[in-house]
Amino acid sequence: MVKIKHIDDRTNAKNNQKPIINILWTGGWDSTYRIVELSRRVCVVQPIYVYGDNRLSEKYEINAMYKILKELRKKPSTKAEFLPIKFINKKDIPANQEITNAYNIIAKNTNLGSQHEWLARLAYSYPGLELGTEASPLSISNILKAINQYGKLIKDKSGEGYILDPVESSNEGILVLGNFKFPIIKKTGKDMKKDIQSWGYEDVMKNVWVCHTPLYGKPCGLCHPCELKIETGMSFLLTRSAVKRYRNSKKPFFRYLYKSELLLNKVIKRLFSKVFVKRMDIQ
């Protein structure tokens, strides 16, 4: 059985150096909120970004991250040291059949997204990897549904984040989710918005990107991340046309129209994404 390698962030500190915090970052609202939160603390932040899974949003996410880092470095309140973003090609994540089998069991019962299979394999190499999962209804969050069915959350040693209880959680839950730390899993999008406003970081958060399948360079309003933001009261992150698409997608005619539009968009974008991935491999 794959062993969980959870460690406290503070154990990374050597000779009284700042703790190093590995965080999965996509340039989206949730993970960027955590980046902002960490920026106000004395620590070293190692952002990790995974590419190469045919996600049409990669270019937009990377641009968002660089813009956000530029803004944070200007902030007088920034105390954290940011290491260069670590780019990892999905194909380079080590295989682990035991994790893959566990993911297949969970996905069958919870519809957990396919990205969580390779994310689990990545987290095995980065124990304690922070994942920006926010609080939301189980009916719209597959990862929270998976945690609810296959695990039990407990506070980590630092007392500020959550991990899966290695005793009370199932073997499948531990294999797929047990190497993650969930620092914002008890916060809603509205909670985070309130913090951002009180801290004065609206100028930073305006650069986030939340859509997986952009249309014409803008959020689509149809992918799961877009739907999740709209259904949790965070539609201000999207354009009016994206919100309109979401509402119209419930109607058969528009649903067919948007599916055709998205399909054409994917074909065109993936032709360019192959060139993009090759360029990333060269860097």
- Spell out the per-residue pLDDT of the chain, length 283, in tens: 444 444 344 444 444 577 899 999 999 999 999 999 999 999 999 999 999 987 889 999 999 999 999 999 999 999 999 999 999 999 999 999 999 999 999 999 999 999 999 999 999 999 999 999 999 887 778 999 999 999 999 999 888 899 999 999 999 999 999 999 999 999 998 999 999 999 999 999 999 999 988 888 889 888 888 888 898 888 888 889 889 888 887 776 556 555 666 666 665 555 555 544 444 444 4
Beta strand 44-51 with 129-130 is unpaired
Q: Are 185 and 162 in contact (CB under 8 A)?
A: yes
Burial class (CB in 10 A: 0-12, 13-18, 19+), 168: exposed
The strand pairing partners of 215, in sequence order, are 218
The domain 9-181 having CATH identifier 3.40.50: the answer here is yes
**Residue 220 backbone phi and psi in degrees, to 5:** -85, -35
Distance CA 111, CA 139 (A): 11
Distance CA 263, CA 278 (A): 23
Q: Are 17 and 56 in contact (CB under 8 A)?
A: no
Distance CA 208, CA 28 (A): 5
Tell me, rounded to whole angstroms, the distance of Cα 68 from its chain centroid: 15
- Outline where the chain has alpha helix (H): 29-39, 58-74, 97-110, 115-125, 142-150, 171-177, 189-199, 202-205, 224-231, 240-248, 252-282
Distance CA 145, CA 141 (A): 6
Going by the DSSP 8-state scheme, the letter that residue 154 receives in this structure is E
Burial class (CB in 10 A: 0-12, 13-18, 19+), 210: buried
Residue 131: both structure tokens together: 């994942």
- Report which of 249, 251, 258 is spatially closest to residue 215, judged by C-alpha positions: 258
| pLDDT score recorded for residue 282 | 42
Residue 189: both structure tokens together: 């999008």
| pLDDT score recorded for residue 14 | 46
- Report which of 237, 3, 162 is spatially closest to residue 98, judged by C-alpha positions: 3
**Residue 161 backbone phi and psi in degrees, to 5:** -130, 180
The one-letter amino acid code at 107 reads A
Domain boundaries, the chain: 9-181, 211-282
| SS3 (DSSP) at 42 | coil
| pLDDT score recorded for residue 138 | 77
- Report which of 185, 197, 213, 234 is spatially closest to residue 29, judged by C-alpha positions: 234
| pLDDT score recorded for residue 4 | 40
| pLDDT score recorded for residue 256 | 55
